Every structure is written in structure tokens, then in C-alpha cells.
Structure 1
């Protein structure tokens, strides 16, 4: 990631230092703690937020990762952690350029004694009891096991001795993180805590402890639907793209304007053509269903049932279970259902992102399935790997029944008229606009054609998608495109004079954080490239 964008900001910040002098104290002054654990390019958002909070007469405290904890944001199962000095140096450079007075987490705890205490706590728990371990009022065993799925880039189920050693290392991190969060919250007494995601190894424990204590929390994350964007949530996880009920009910009562409907339809048309954002899932999409059938050795007169899976370690899928115990439970039980149905074929489409993203999935869904069935996979089950160019859209369109877990594909297929079954709890479920599955029994009755199941409301779904894509997801004015990846935005600002009110989108974000308002409601730009 390039840090070159910060050099002109440093010069501007020094030249316009007067802008940040003598800011009046706001009525009802808030103390905002920014818990910054990752010096990625997108963290410029936190730094602009710090400055904006101070400019508005409130108090900002930025706390950053400088070591201390056993894990860091720049490591996973495949990537070794960088030297701590590198991360400290990046934070020091960024904050220095922005003129931010920040403090490292080592300010709050002594590393040696904190680690010793944590290791003693974890050592006192037997392997079979680790998952149910609690500390500081939090279910740290379950949280650590969940976060290990993302960290390990695949399914993590401790069975071997080395698995339990990994689990214990993460629990030491968990105990230290809880103690750190408790110490920071006690020392700083913030009114609001701001952090990334809320469901990942570096942020889960501060998020959970702050919520447990009744402290207001704002989470933010890469926006997903546009390059150089962010999504935010107050007292919820931004990664879940939550829409508050009041905003949804108001939107549901109001008809979409022709322009709003066209913007949703146009966006998802571009999404299907891989033109809406940076991520690409097909090389050359194969849309001929007859060729797909022949390649999969499926007779032309056989019926199709299709499943479309998520990436196992995607935080959008973790803990999003309702009718089934997990995504794999859903897949396994559907395979078992398909066994013996000779003239109907089950097609399981692995998520293309398993092999096409920067980090490859360590336990691809096909490998998990074949390992579970150990050569005994029913003959009428077909698995399409992530590298395949076979069109998910065409497979779904030609299926008697199609189903997703939490993928956005479920919303796309609903817009297309394919009426997929939604078997997990993605952001668009639970609103009465998609065919949400409430129980495994209901799911199999629908597959057996014994029940029609819930209907769809395509107009209502368009209203919901408009709220998420064009209202909830934000494109702050200081992000100007990307360097080569959505997590590496180009950062630029011409002047701090009038900041942050000179940036209507970003200023609206700051006000929503301070005033605890819905991020759907502030005025924004409209249409492609313009804002209301």
C-alpha cells in the first residue's frame, strides 16, 4: 500500500494549522474513542474522523496498535505477522501527517504481565472446555472459535493437538484483548467507541465489552458495493449492512421514484456484467445452459436443484444461521435429501471468490464435501468449483428450485424472478421481500413440492436495496478512486478550510455518529456520481 497520498496532506495540514486552532467547545460535548488496530489505507477514514470530531468541538481519542497483543491485523493462517515496528511506524507516519495526537495500546497494559495472566487463565481450562470458556463476562471461547474461521481462511474445528495449540494462542489473545478493552474503557470513559467491523480477531472483544457495558459503539467497514466507500452502523456491526426499522418502514410506505428504481436495476445489471466494482468472479462467463449440462454430465431431461454457497470464512456468513446449524449443515442435509432422486440432479456452485480473491480459501467447499462423503457422494450430485466460468445466473434460472445461504446472489436472483430460497440470514432477509426459510422442515417440504413456501416482493426488495446501496453505503469526499484495490483508496483534499462541513457526505457521517442517528437519513448525493 502506498503512503504517498499522506505527504501532500502533511503539507496542507501544516499550512492550514490555523483551521484547527481554538475550536469552540460543543454543547453536550462527546468523548469519542477511536480504536484503531489496522494501519491500512482505509484507516484514513478514522484519521479524518478524529479531526472532524475535534473541529466540531468534541473530544477525540485515537488509540492504536503498537504491539502488546499476540496477534495483529496483518496476519492470518497463510501470512506471517510483519515486524511490530513496521506497524508502529505506519501509524506514527499517518498520524504525524494528520497532526493527530494518539497513544499506543501499550500505554494501558504491561505486555509481559498481561500475557502471563492470560496464559495462566487459558492454561486452567481443559481442551474440551475451551469453546465454552468465558472471561470478563464474555463468551471468549465461542468468539475466538468464530474469529479463527476468518483468521484461518477456512473451516476451523479443533481436533488435533496442534489445532488446540492454535486455539489456545487465540484465547490468550482474547483474554489480553478483554483486559485491554476493560482498562481502556475505564481510563478513557468514552461516550462513543468507533472501530472496524466488530466481528474480527482485532475488534471483537472491544466491540462486545463496550456493548456489554452499555457504551455507544459505531462500527465501519469497506463499503463493498462501490470502490472507495465505507458502510457504518451505530450499535450494530457494519459488515451486516443493517437498516434500522424506522428507515425501512418509512421506505416501504413510499413508492420508489422511476429514477430510484432505475438506479437499482442499472446497478445490479452492471454488477452481473462485472462492471459495478473492482471484484471480478468470471473470466469468460459461460451462459449456455445446454453446454453447462453436457459438461456436468446431466441428462437434458433431468430436473435441477441448485445451491450457491458462501466463502466459508467470510464474516458476512459467520453466525448467520437460522434454519440450519451452519452453512455446511445446510449443504450436507441437502445432499442427503438428493440421494436416490434419480431424475433430479443437485448442483452445488462454490463461490468464485474461493479462488479469485487475494486470499485463497484454505478449505474449499468442494474439498469439505468430498472429505465428509469420503468417495460416497451420491451420483446425482455435481459440484462446480470456484474457478469455473459456468454462470450461476443461468444455472439458477433453469433450476426447479435454487437456494442460497447469505450471498448477495439471493437478492440478484430474486430480482431476476428466480425466487431463491434464503437459508441463512443475510441483510435482505427478514423483511418480507424474499423467500426466507424458517426451519429445515419447511425447506425440505418446499424441495419435495409439498409446500409453496413464502412469496417474494420484488418492489419491496428494490426499496431495500436502494436504501443499502445508495443510502447506507457512503463515499466520503476525500476518497478519490483506488490505487489498485478497494482497500487502497486514493486520498486527497484541497483544503481543510470549512472542514468537515465542506464535505456534505462525510459531515453527515460525523453528525450521525455524534448524534446517534441512522446513517440512512442524512442528505446525500443522488444518482451515479452525484449525491443528494
Structure 2
């Protein structure tokens, strides 16, 4: 079927319905000429989803103004499966056509050097790819290395994203082979581009899944500087990391980066105001502010009444991530998997029927997720247990009983790796960290080192021996300030809300060229300095 006319109609409809499209809005911006002198080359891997390529387009222009030749690495429909394709999505071909048209429009409107994968894949490449797919299935998958990349590691995150499952089965089927082909193509064609242009550095988003993940792993192995960006909770700002996903960089961060921060009155006010907004009933417009629909916080007595819990019983809160999302950020020191943590926690409280475990499902889960094929916390539990005792209660994502209310009603809480760790600790609620959380190993929460240690921490919590100390709170404020302000470039170019892209904050490219924040970022990357945006927040 020829989708061209259908796609064009859909694009026109979407633009009309949303009212704002980055490329259309950029047409209104007054242009300036780029520098003719070439200092060096870089590679950018744009993210074509919901106008996310806006930042990369702006960085393209900044680099060109500075005399840098930018090469954009695009699929050009050279791959069938990627991070924008998933198991519950309908009309895959139309989705791919939409993305491809965006790539073409992006390249032509900005007159970019674009390297499309589909233009460079040759017969020999296909032979190598097919040979390695067969080798992958006939060898030890866990240790299969291609050009320095652990293929299984990248493939697992790809399938987690595709199936929305914490522990997807890696079986020999069309989907797995499709993602393997994407991974091999991404590596092979990137290597060609790299050898051709010899870039000073590479810029990409996320740093995980099939395309981004394979290239980050390739660059890391071959000592190619790669900068990974992602939007964060603080007013749509951007976090940058070097040589790994920005998500894992937060977890693996050297404590020396933030421990010596001098918390001035102004810095403390910034982080306290930020945390107050995140944990209060006030309306905010932070990215992914999942609690915005249920800001009204019930008190402890109401929770006991609503859940029919006897007043003499103690409550412990459990705060799981969305299963697949909690598993993709890294490996737990204490547990073999997210599911292993779920089972260990529930089993502990099954034996202690005098204590009520309230499991507050992540608010980003939707009531119909299981119906449309997404793995939810409840589907994981139902696969392990035929039924749960009355002292273990799963609170659904859309419940009026939010995570903060559960935390305040609890003796202590246990969580895997979500931002709830920061929020509940700020509210003075002791927490046990079981997974790869950014707060881990930072003397803020109680880190479980192994399964036995986890059970010991649970027992200590039941004896009222877990507390949020002054040192814990001091470290929380320092690290949270560093993670949400020092490391975050404030968004000065694009208007974003929860509903998405709402327009540009400038009408002349001179703004890009002269913008102090972007200049600071550019110089930081060029000179390999630490990311520090303090001066633009204070």
C-alpha cells in the first residue's frame, strides 16, 4: 500500500489539531548566515518524537554559527524496529512514514549534512548482519560482543521498551531479530560515518535502547566522546551526561561532584521551594508531574477508613516503578531483578499478617494498561501469587490515595528507583532503597546491599529503628540541588507544558547565537568541563 497521501493528510490533521509544530514555527524565525570557517566536525543523532528534535535543531544552528560542521545520523527508514515502535502501537508503517517525513523536512529546512542509514547499507553489510544474528542465537547471548558492544545488554533494553515488560524473554522471533538487525545496522553505519568525518564528539538523547544505546556503548568502548541529554522534572530543563545514559549517570555519580557544595541561603531556598512544590497540593507544571491529578492528600485516619484497616495495625508503604521503566535504568546491587524485589517484599509481609503493606502503584500506570497489553504491577503480582492476604493491599494508579498520603501513614517505606525516594525523604519518611536509585550510596536513604541486608532493614523498620537523620536531610538537599539545578540547563528557547510543545521563545536566530546559556553549554562540551549551570539559576 502507498501510504504517502494518507501520511500527508495525517500530518496536516495533527498540525491543525495541536496548533503547534516545531518546524512550522521555526519558519517564522528570522535567519542569520552560519560561519564559513570549519573548526571541526560533530555528529548529532536527532530524536524525532513529539517535537523533541527542537533542542537538537537549535544546537545544530549554534554549532554552525560557531564554525562547526554538523552531521546528523538518521535512519531514513533503514531499520524496521526502534525505540519509537512498541507492541501496543497500531499502524506501525504509518508511524515510520511520519517519522521519515519529519527527518526529510528537518534535513531540508535546516540544510543539514544528513547521513541516512538506508543510503549506505550495502550487500556486504547485510551479510555481516545476518551472520551475526545467527551467531547471537547459537552462542552465549549474555557475552555476545560486536565491535565492543554487549549486544544482549542493548537488546534487553530494546525489548523492555517494546513489550513494556521488566524481564522480556529473548526468544528467536521476528521482533527480536528485527531489533538485532537495528542494533547491528546502527553500529555498522555509525562506524562508517565516524570514520568519514572524525567528529570531536557525538550528541544524542537517552543513551539506551536499540539505536541510542548501541551507539553510546560503541563510543564508550572506542573512547569516542559522546554527550547524552534528556529532559528532567525541573521546568523542562535539560540534563547532560558524558559517555553513558543520563539516567544511569545520576545513579553512578561520584559523590565528590556534589558533596562539597556550599549551600547558600539562595541555593537552599531554590531546592526547598522546588521540593515543596513537588510534595504539596499546589499545582505545578513539571515534566511528568504524575501526581497533578491527585494533589489532595488524605490524612492517616482517612486511609485506615477507606482501606478498612484496623486502627491498631501498622502500615508500611511500598512504592514500585512502572515495571519495565524501573528495570531499564540499571542493575540493583541487592536483587537480580525488579521482580525479585517485588517477590522478596511481598513474601516478607505475607509472614507478618499483623502489618499492612500498602503498595502504591506508580501513578503513570493507567487503568487500562493491562487490557491493551502493557505489563503492570498487578499483572506481575498475579503471575506470582494466586491471591494475596488481606494485609497486602495494592492501591491502583488512579486512586485518590496518592503516594505522599501512603508515605505519611507509614512507619517507613521501600522503593526501587523512582523520584519518590527524594520526595518522601524530604517529608521525613524513612526509606529503604532496593534498586538503582540516584539516591543510592549517597548517605540519604537506607541502601540494601543484598537480600539478607534488605530483610534486616525491613525488620529494623518494624522496630522503629529507621530514621531520617539531620545528615540524611543535609545530603538530600545538597544532592537534590546539584541534580536539579547545578546539572540542569534551563530551557530558554522552547515553550513546553504538560500538553507538549507550545511554541518558541524567540523570533530571530541572533538569540541562539548570543544566548549565554547555550554558549556556556557549548563551551563546556568543547572544553570538556564539568556541567554547571548554577549562574543561570541563582
1:202 aligns to what SS in structure 2?
Answer: helix
Asked if structure 1 preserves the Cα contact closer than 8 Å seen for 2:166 and 2:326, the reply is no
1:477 aligned residue: 492
Q: SS at 1:205's partner residue? A: helix
CA contact (8 A) 2:291 2:363 kept: yes
- Counterpart CA distance in 2 for 1:400 and 1:522 is 38
TM-aligned CA deviation for residue 254 of structure 1: 4.2
Match of 1:100 among 112, 117, 120: 112
Query: In terms of mean alpha carbon deviation, does 325-334 or 135-144 score higher?
Result: 135-144
- 1:447-486 to structure 2, matched below 5 A, reads 447-449=458-460, 452=465, 457-482=472-497, 485-486=499-500
CA contact (8 A) 1:30 1:192 kept: no
- Answer yes or no: is 1:178 the counterpart of 2:187: yes
Please report the TM-score for the alignment, with normalisation by the length of structure 2.
0.86
2:323 is paired with a residue whose SS is: coil
- Residue 78 of structure 1 corresponds to 88
Aligned residue for 2:227?
218
SS in 2 for 1:118: helix
Task: Indicate whether 1:388 and 2:399 are aligned.
Answer: yes
Q: Which secondary structure state, in structure 1, belongs to the residue aligned with residue 324 of structure 2?
A: coil
Q: How does 1:184-263 map to 2 (within 5 A)?
A: 184-227=193-236, 229-240=237-248, 242=250, 249=256, 251-263=258-270
Between the aligned partners of 1:131 and 1:485, the Cα distance in structure 2 is: 40
> How far does residue 286 in structure 1 lie from its aligned partner after superposition?
4.8
SS at match of 1:221: strand
Quick one: structure 1 residues 32 and 126, their matched pair in 2 at CA, closer, same or farther if it must change by over 3 Å? closer
Find the counterpart in structure 2 of residue 41 from structure 1. Answer: 51
Work out which of the residue numbers 71, 75, 83 in structure 2 matches 1:65: 75
User: What do the CA deviations read for 1:283-334 (whole angstroms, capped 9, x no partner)?
Assistant: 4445132232233332211112221000112268532411111222111011
Given the alignment, which residue of 50, 56, 59 partners 2:66? Answer: 56
8 Å contact kept, 2:247–2:329: no
Deviations 1:383-441 (Å, cap 9, x if unpaired)? 11212121222222222221111111111111111121111122222222332222222
CA-CA distance at 1:34 after TM superposition: 0.8
Unaligned runs of 5+ in 1: 527-531
Where 2:241 maps in the other structure, the secondary structure is: strand
SS at match of 1:61: strand
* 2:504 aligned to which of 491, 512, 519: 491
TM superposition score normalised by structure 1: 0.87
Deviations 1:79-115 (A, max 9, x none): 14344443232122223333333231223323x6644
CA–CA distance in structure 1, aligned partners of residues 168 and 98 of structure 2: 32
Pairing 1:137–2:148 present: yes
Structure 2 CA distance for partners of 1:100 and 1:167, relative to 1, 3 Å: closer
Residue equivalent to 2:7:
none
Instruction: Tell me the equivalent position of 2:6.
Output: none
**How big is the alpha-carbon RMSD for the aligned residues of Structure 1 and Structure 2?**
3.0
Displacement of 1:489:
5.2
Aligned length: 510
Instruction: Find the counterpart in structure 2 of residue 529 from structure 1.
Output: none
Question: In 2, Cα distance between the equivalents of 1:102 and 1:474?
Answer: 27
Say which structure is richer in helix: 2
Unaligned runs of 5+ in 2: 1-13
User: In 2, Cα distance between the equivalents of 1:149 and 1:239?
Assistant: 16
> CA contact under 8 A between 2:298 and 2:401: conserved in structure 1?
yes
Shift of 1:280: 3.4
